[in-house]
A and B are shown apart, each in its own frame.
Chain A
Amino acid sequence: MAGVFSLLRRLYLTLYNWTVFVGWAQVLFLAVRTLKESGHEHVYNSVEKPLLLAQTAAVLEILHGLVGLVRSPITATLPQIGSRLYVTWGILYSFPEIRTHFLVSSLVISWSITEIIRYSFFGTKEALGFAPSWLMWLRYSTFFLLYPTGISSEVGLIYFALPYIKKSEKYCVRMPNTWNFSFDYFYAAILVLGVYVPGSPHMYSYMLGQRKKALSKSKRE
């Protein structure tokens, strides 16, 4: 019985990882093509569908961690996925005025290259039981460049969207109301920007630690 579960798990995860891989590959392809043919203002429109799908699918990864399907600690996946979903739905989708900004291009290119490597790495590991050393090297080295470019794009887009957030009053709850509650999306966005200050070095050093562990382990094997 245990063998069947383990096989099903491998099958499911292989399918999951390669499916999302295809989504991100589409994003990268469309982004680069649109950049060359039409310019950075049109990149969001061309990648919107696969981007929303592939990024939102990552919610499943929280589930995978919770039920124990994968080993990743939820403390690392939650902030990562949280920031991605916030920028994708809470900024880009919600405030169309920001979609023509050039940082959108650097954002989706950084994200898609990272995810293509990451999903193919896990997809290969689940399918074959191991991943080739060059793929492992890519997974644990490209973040040196792509984390800074990705994070800068995220922070930049949130910052440049602030005037539109303030003006639109979207997602704001005002008083008076029976629950004596209020929420200001503009100040919440500023708080999010604040969280990036300790959050980014934390995520970066987590990856550094993971890199050390993974590459030394493969040396020993």
Chain B
Amino acid sequence: MKVTVVSRSGRELVKGGLELNDSASVADLQEAIYKRTKKFYPSRQRLTLPLPPGSKDRPIVLNYKKSLKDYCDGNSDNITVVFKDLGPQVSYRTLFFWEYLGPLILYPVFYFFPVYQYFGYKGERVIHPVQTYALCYWCFHYFKRIMETFFVHRFSHATSPLSNVFRNCAYYWTFGSYIAYYLNHPLYTPVSDLQMKIGFGFGLICQVANFYCHILLRNLRTPDGSGGYQIPRGFLFNIVTCANYTTEIYQWLGFTIATQTVAGYAFLVVAAMIMTNWALAKHRRLKKLFDGKDGRPKYPRRWVILPPFL
């Protein structure tokens, strides 16, 4: 069949179109486009079916695993696809590794090295036990995240735009340094022993729960990386859609209760807001996908992320 590839402005991207097998898959089409354009490797391509002008609907995105025939409505000799360049892409593993590496490395710098003399604080620094526990907790947390990135998570998309590397690293590295600065400060004031124990204890429990949530989510997807969405079940997922975010937020709450810095609370609030946005989108997506029609199960009534608020 003949495939015409146009940009969103209507310009033909591949002069003369492409000639493909009738049984070709979308992935084959992406390979062919890459061969002709040389610059746009498959993960950079977003291919959609053309929409009638003025239509307010969201365009249908071609899934790389499906065969092209599935998208031809009747006329299987000709099809037009609209191309969008998603920009340079990196794998999610690369993205997560770099954003988590910053906090893992930068925080210990404030603990181990005499950086505070450059901020004007001369003299000896007394290290409180809570500061040592905080270092362990923090580094364990980001070490866990990196391990999960390589061995646990199964991603719905293979790649993310390169620009996200800069944006996400700026977020994690800046907040990480901001918190590390205050937590290891020579004039740091610890909280009571009891408060510290409760905070770290609660945080550790939530980290374990969070790990278990990640295992449950992993088992919803097949190892071949085909992504897709399932209804999460078991453990806290029975009452809350994004139990993984819930446990993550509570884990930071535990850490901040134990260490008591305004910087820590600021990070907690921002992180909770970001995760709430993700949770709302995921909850909506799952409810839309599992609407109870055509034999599909209906998504059960659950909290989105933070019972009893949302």
Alpha-carbon distance between A155 and B263 when the two chains are bound, in angstroms: 28
Counting chain A CB atoms within 10 Å of each CB, the highest count among B185, B188, B191, B262 belongs to: B262
Within 8 A of B (CB), among A150-188: 175-182
Distance, CA A177 to CA B262, complexed state (A): 11
B183 within 8 A of partner (CB): yes
Please give, as numbers and ranges, the residues of chain A lying within 8 Å of B182 by CB-CB distance: 180-182
- Determine the interface band of chain B, counting residues with CB < 8 A from chain A: 10 to 19
Residues from chain A with a CB closer than 8 A to the CB of B261 are 179-181
| Residue of A177, A180, A182 with most chain B CB atoms under a 10 A cut-off | A180
Query: Which residues in chain A, 194-215, are within 8 Å of chain B measured between CB atoms?
Result: none
Decide if the interface of chain B is mainly helix, strand, loop or mixed. loop
Q: Report the Cα distance A179→B259, complex, angstroms.
A: 9
Bound state CA distance, A190 and B268, in angstroms? 26
**In the complex, which residues of chain B have a beta carbon less than 8 angstroms from the beta carbon of A180?**
182-183, 185, 188-189, 259-263
Q: Are A175 and B263 in contact (CB under 8 A)?
A: no
Contact check, B187 vs A181: say whether CB atoms are below 8 A apart: no
The answer on a CB contact under 8 Å between A178 and B187 is no
CB distance from B172 to the nearest CB of A (A): 20
- Compute how far the CA of A176 lies from the CA of B259 in the bound complex, rounded to whole angstroms: 14
Contact with A along B120-141 (1 / 0, CB 8 A): 0000000000000000000000
The residue on B at minimum CB distance from A175 is B187
Q: Per-position contact with B for A53-74: 1 when CB-CB < 8 Å, else 0? A: 0000000000000000000000
Among A175, A178, A179, the residue within 8 A (CB) of B185 is: A175
Residues of A within 8 A of B (CB): 175-182
26 A-B pairs whose Cβ atoms sit less than 8 Å apart in the complex: A175-B185, A175-B187, A175-B188, A175-B189, A176-B187, A176-B188, A176-B189, A177-B189, A178-B191, A178-B260, A179-B260, A179-B261, A179-B262, A180-B182, A180-B183, A180-B185, A180-B189, A180-B260, A180-B261, A180-B262, A180-B263, A181-B182, A181-B261, A181-B262, A181-B263, A182-B182
Question: A-B pairs with the 5 shortest C-beta distances?
Answer: A181-B262, A175-B187, A176-B187, A180-B261, A176-B189
